[in-house]
Chains A and B, each alone.
Chain A
Amino acid sequence: MTPTLVIARLTVQELLRRRLFLVLVALTLVVMALVTWGFARLPTLGDGGRELGRTEVVAVASQLLILVGFMFSFTLAFSAVFAGAPSLSGDVESGTALAILARPISRAEFVLGKWLGIVATILVYALPTTALQLLLVDVVVSYVPPRPLEFVAFVAAEAVVILTLALALSTRLAGMVGGVVALVLWGVGWIGGIVGGVGLAFDNPTVTHVGTATRLILPTDGMWRGAVWALEPAAILETMRQAGRAAAANPFFAPDPPPAPYLAWTAGWVAVVLGAAIWSFSRREI
């Protein structure tokens, strides 16, 4: 195995053996049970015990699922930060990096291995839980969102973006500091997306540019919009499109998928920030 893959495997092992991962999985299962129970009750929620019609169930289920999806993406982004922010700084502080980096392994391989390991762990967590949740919703209300694969891809991409940032910060900052910075930036990105939407709704180019700028500087909210779009049924998209610009400010709505150039930008962003992390860690004294 190449040194990069050895470090990646070690990182996955470390994350899976930590209590954090077990707690996360346990809590996720509890939340999923609650969500499923809620969805199962959905058809009986009409006024005075009236059964909801099929169209209504789909409308409510889809919007509810978007909220659940947001919670999920939030948890995932948080976990990615918790995994990434202490990873390099923690190894340097504890002295575990000393023995490893004295082996014939380059700093780039070490950083890349850490990144790959955390990305793999994110996927190991995100794919089965999303699949299970969507399956459970399908079982209880027979509703499947239109683009489940795209949803997972966008949510995972959001986590990878914030993870890459946290990892880059951890080349220089202590775990707590880097983690807080990454989370604050994630929040700023989210608000920036809303601000941009408000600008669009009120036709104010300056405010719109602020939103666009934050989406370019930190593509987490852009990825979240992609995830929302993947969950919107065609009927809702149609209605909301007719609402026009007014809907743009809603952080839980996206009329269109992120355009291909934006996806390319995001991929480039991850590559550049990862490159910066490697550069920074290569100059770090152990």
Chain B
Amino acid sequence: MIDEPAIRTRDLAKRYDSTVALAGLTMTIPRGAVFGFLGPNGAGKTTAVKLLLGLARPTSGEAEVLGVPIGDRASRRRVGYLPELFRYQPWLTAREVLALHCELAGIDRAAWPREIADALATVGLAERGATRVGTFSKGMQQRLGLGVALLGDPELVLLDEPTSALDPVGRHDVREITRALRDRGVTVFLNSHLLAEVEQVCDRVAIVDRGRVIADGTLEELLRGETVRVRVTDLSADGRAAIARFGDVAEEGGWLTVRGIDAPAVPDLVAALVRAGGRVHAVETAHESLEDRFLRLLGGAS
């Protein structure tokens, strides 16, 4: 059971009438990973999570969550979920909402007070436990949702845009919470389009666009290579062709940008430019950020 991956999907697809929300997702997320699921609006991130939780039914394909086929109620037994667009019963207090979820999650009644107090403290709502949820601000609702997702030591936590309504402190808290979950060996599935955030906490990412995964792997794998900017003049067309093998080349205002180049190859690149008659005035190297990579991937996909 423990050897089972946290999530495994095979050709998981979802179509809404003519809209393809998810076009055959195949992936395996090992236990204990913090997995970032990235993509632009409408890419299919929320759809994927809803399929995993049995909230929507796949058009085709299959998946297991914690070793149990999706749709089976047992697959949701050890799972915490923070939905993207949601509301809790506005007429309940925060504490009552947490108690309700303790009960639905089948947590031993004796453990409720501690679970509830811990959840409230973790998400910074300790003082608001007795407040009606209907009066909560959007960010407070999202904090409460995060608290609900953390109840009862889940083995897998699915967070759909957990920081969309949060202030900078809240975002920082979410990062801390995610790291704490990872330290406890909990698998985290994080939907986001906030790349800086994902970059800070995730060990593996998949980038989806229009229902397809267009890149995936560990952050190192994905961000391997540097970006080099070279200011060069008098470069011949042959010279330009000669450097294509170093990476993706773009030219703008006298600057050549080569992305995805291996760091040790930078002097070779400069040598190649010089050999081709280019006059090199400046060379700048930078580590590619996830955002650059993301935009580049999406640009390439369109």
Interface residues of A (CB under 8 A from B): 1, 3, 6, 10, 13-14, 17-18, 94-96, 98-106, 283, 285-286
A96-B104 CB under 8 A given contacts A103-B76, A105-B73: no
User: What is the minimal beta-carbon distance from A10 to any residue of chain B, in angstroms?
Assistant: 7
The answer, yes or no, to whether B106 is at the interface (CB within 8 Å) is yes
Contact between A96 and B87 (Cβ–Cβ < 8 Å)?
yes
Query: Can you name the residue of chain A whose Cβ is closest to the Cβ of B79?
Result: A102
User: What is the minimal beta-carbon distance from B116 to any residue of chain A, in angstroms?
Assistant: 16
User: What is the minimal beta-carbon distance from B74 to any residue of chain A, in angstroms?
Assistant: 7
Can you spell out 28 A-B residue pairs with CB atoms less than 8 angstroms apart?
Answer: A1-B103, A6-B104, A10-B100, A13-B92, A14-B89, A14-B91, A18-B91, A94-B87, A98-B55, A98-B85, A98-B86, A99-B81, A99-B88, A99-B148, A100-B104, A102-B55, A102-B79, A102-B83, A103-B104, A104-B77, A104-B105, A105-B73, A105-B104, A106-B73, A285-B50, A285-B55, A285-B57, A286-B55
A103-B91 CB under 8 A given contacts A95-B83, A286-B56: no
A99-B86 CB under 8 A given contacts A104-B77, A285-B57, A286-B56: yes
Contact between A98 and B103 (Cβ–Cβ < 8 Å)?
no
The answer, yes or no, to whether B181 is at the interface (CB within 8 Å) is no
The answer, yes or no, to whether B287 is at the interface (CB within 8 Å) is no
Interface residues of B (CB under 8 A from A): 50, 53-57, 73-74, 76-77, 79, 81, 83, 85-89, 91-92, 100-101, 103-106, 145, 148
Q: How far is the CA of A216 from the CA of B89 in the complex (A)?
A: 38
Q: Which of B53, B74, B100, B106 has the most CB of A within 10 A?
A: B100
A94 cross-chain contacts in B, Cβ below 8 A: 87
A104 cross-chain contacts in B, Cβ below 8 A: 73-74, 76-77, 104-106
- Dominant secondary structure of chain B at its interface with chain A: loop
Q: How far is the CA of A35 from the CA of B205 in the complex (A)?
A: 70
Q: Which of A1, A18, A95 has the most CB of B within 10 A?
A: A95
B56 cross-chain contacts in A, Cβ below 8 A: 285-286
Query: Can you name the residue of chain A whose Cβ is closest to the Cβ of B104?
Result: A103
Query: Can you name the residue of chain A whose Cβ is closest to the Cβ of B89?
Result: A96
B76 cross-chain contacts in A, Cβ below 8 A: 102-104
Q: How far is the CA of A271 from the CA of B55 in the complex (A)?
A: 25
B148 cross-chain contacts in A, Cβ below 8 A: 99
Contact between B74 and A99 (Cβ–Cβ < 8 Å)?
no
Q: Which of B89, B92, B101 has the most CB of A within 10 A?
A: B89
Q: How far is the CA of A108 from the CA of B147 in the complex (A)?
A: 27
A18 cross-chain contacts in B, Cβ below 8 A: 91
A14 cross-chain contacts in B, Cβ below 8 A: 89, 91
Q: How far is the CA of A45 from the CA of B105 in the complex (A)?
A: 64
Q: How far is the CA of A20 from the CA of B105 in the complex (A)?
A: 31
Q: How far is the CA of A100 from the CA of B101 in the complex (A)?
A: 8
User: What is the minimal beta-carbon distance from B182 to any residue of chain A, in angstroms?
Assistant: 21
Query: Can you name the residue of chain A whose Cβ is closest to the Cβ of B151?
Result: A103
A283 cross-chain contacts in B, Cβ below 8 A: 57
B57 cross-chain contacts in A, Cβ below 8 A: 283, 285
A102-B100 CB under 8 A given contacts A96-B87, A96-B88, A286-B55: no
Q: In the complex, which of the residues B53, B88, B106 contacts A102, with contact meaning CB atoms closer than 8 Å?
A: B53
A3-B50 CB under 8 A given contacts A95-B87, A99-B86, A286-B56: no
Contact between B100 and A6 (Cβ–Cβ < 8 Å)?
yes
Contact between A6 and B103 (Cβ–Cβ < 8 Å)?
yes
Q: How far is the CA of A106 from the CA of B56 in the complex (A)?
A: 13
Contact between B87 and A102 (Cβ–Cβ < 8 Å)?
no
Query: Can you name the residue of chain A whose Cβ is closest to the Cβ of B96?
Result: A13
Q: How far is the CA of A6 from the CA of B76 in the complex (A)?
A: 17
User: What is the minimal beta-carbon distance from A77 to any residue of chain B, in angstroms?
Assistant: 25
Q: How far is the CA of A6 from the CA of B104 in the complex (A)?
A: 8
A3 cross-chain contacts in B, Cβ below 8 A: 104
User: What is the minimal beta-carbon distance from A208 to any residue of chain B, in angstroms?
Assistant: 46
User: What is the minimal beta-carbon distance from A20 to any residue of chain B, in angstroms?
Assistant: 12
B77 cross-chain contacts in A, Cβ below 8 A: 104
Contact between A10 and B87 (Cβ–Cβ < 8 Å)?
no
Query: Can you name the residue of chain B whose Cβ is closest to the Cβ of A17?
Result: B91
Contact between B86 and A95 (Cβ–Cβ < 8 Å)?
yes
Q: How far is the CA of A100 from the CA of B88 in the complex (A)?
A: 9
Query: Can you name the residue of chain B whose Cβ is closest to the Cβ of A3?
Result: B104
User: What is the minimal beta-carbon distance from A286 to any residue of chain B, in angstroms?
Assistant: 4
Q: How far is the CA of A104 from the CA of B2 in the complex (A)?
A: 20
A13 cross-chain contacts in B, Cβ below 8 A: 91-92
Q: How far is the CA of A96 from the CA of B133 in the complex (A)?
A: 12
Q: How far is the CA of A14 from the CA of B134 in the complex (A)?
A: 13
Having A10-B89, A98-B55, A105-B73, one finds 8 other A-B pairs with CB under 8 Å, namely: A1-B103, A6-B104, A96-B86, A98-B86, A103-B104, A104-B74, A104-B77, A283-B57
